[in-house]
Amino acid sequence: MPAILIADDHPLFREALHQVVTEAFADFAVRLAKDFEQAMAAVCEDDGLELVLLDLNMPGMNGFNGLIALRNQVPMVPIVVVSASETAETAGQVLTFGASGFLPKSLSKGEMAAALRRVLDGDVYLPPELEAELETGGGLSAADRALVEQLGALTHQQRKVLEMLVAGKSNKVIAYELDIAESTVKAHVSAILRKLGVTSRTQAVITAGRIIGRLPS
């Protein structure tokens, strides 16, 4: 049975999205997640996923890094970001990071259902007013677009190590928390530096922080 994943940490809005999906897509099962770890587990375990609705502000998302990680895990499943932010900059960024649509939380249930139908039909959805703004400029710089591609080249384990580096954790702590050898951590760090095109941990942290640290209000 095809399924739609709703990943949002706010119970009331998660329920509102659940109602939109069940009313508009009766033939779809609904999966729920309240943080990034649950969302990642869901996309890894459910072969029937046809659509992901994603809140950028969930615990564990680490800015846009969570979107990048989910996009890399299920490249054929459209991801629609649902956000309280309604700026063209945020909309442009989520599309650059691989989302197939951007839904402001202020949209009505009918507007959301119509937007999701378009995405399931293979279109990319943006509210018309935000699409018009983006046509006159916005989104990411060329440097940030290149950085997104570099982050996308990291494996799932390398992304976890990078997130811990950004959080200021040592190799020893990373090894303990991931239950791997410290030599394995060092190998991951070396691979991260190579893929990001930098020569030190500090440079990697600063570079990754440009994306991981971004989060719309």
Q: 90-114: per-residue pLDDT in tens?
A: 888 888 778 889 998 888 989 999 9
Q: Which residues, other chains included, contact 27 with Cβ-Cβ below 8 Å and sequence gap of 6+?
A: 1, 2
The residue among 134, 128, 132 whose CA lies nearest residue 115 is 128
Tokens of 57: 């502000």
**What integer pLDDT is reported at residue 50 of this predicted model?**
94
Give the amino acid at 138: G
Give the Cα separation of 170 and 204 in Å (integer). Answer: 14
For residues 43 and 46, what is the distance between their CA atoms, to the nearest angstrom? Answer: 6
Please tell me the distance from the alpha carbon of residue 63 to that of residue 212, in angstroms, as a whole number: 5
Three-point CA angle 67, 202, 146, nearest 5°: 45
Supply the DSSP string of the chain, one letter for each residue.
--EEEEE-S-HHHHHHHHHHHHHH-TTSEEEEESSHHHHHHHHHH-TTEEEEEEETTSTT-TTTHHHHHHHHH-TTS-EEEEES---HHHHHHHHHTT-SEEEETTS-HHHHHHHHHHHHTT--B--HHHHHHHHTS-S--HHHHHHHHHHHTS-HHHHHHHHHHHTT--HHHHHHHHT--HHHHHHHHHHHHHHHT-SSHHHHHHHHHHHHT----
Take residue 105 and report the two structure tokens written for it: 């939380």
Report, as ranges of residue numbers, the positions in the chain whose pLDDT lies below 50.
Answer: 215-217
pTM check: above 0.85? no
Contact 81, 103 (CB under 8 A): yes
For residue 160, what are the contacts with CB-CB under 8 A and spacing of at least 6? 178
> Which are the contacts of 198, defined by CB distance < 8 A and separation ≥ 6?
204, 207
Type of residue numbered 26: A
At 217 the pLDDT is 40
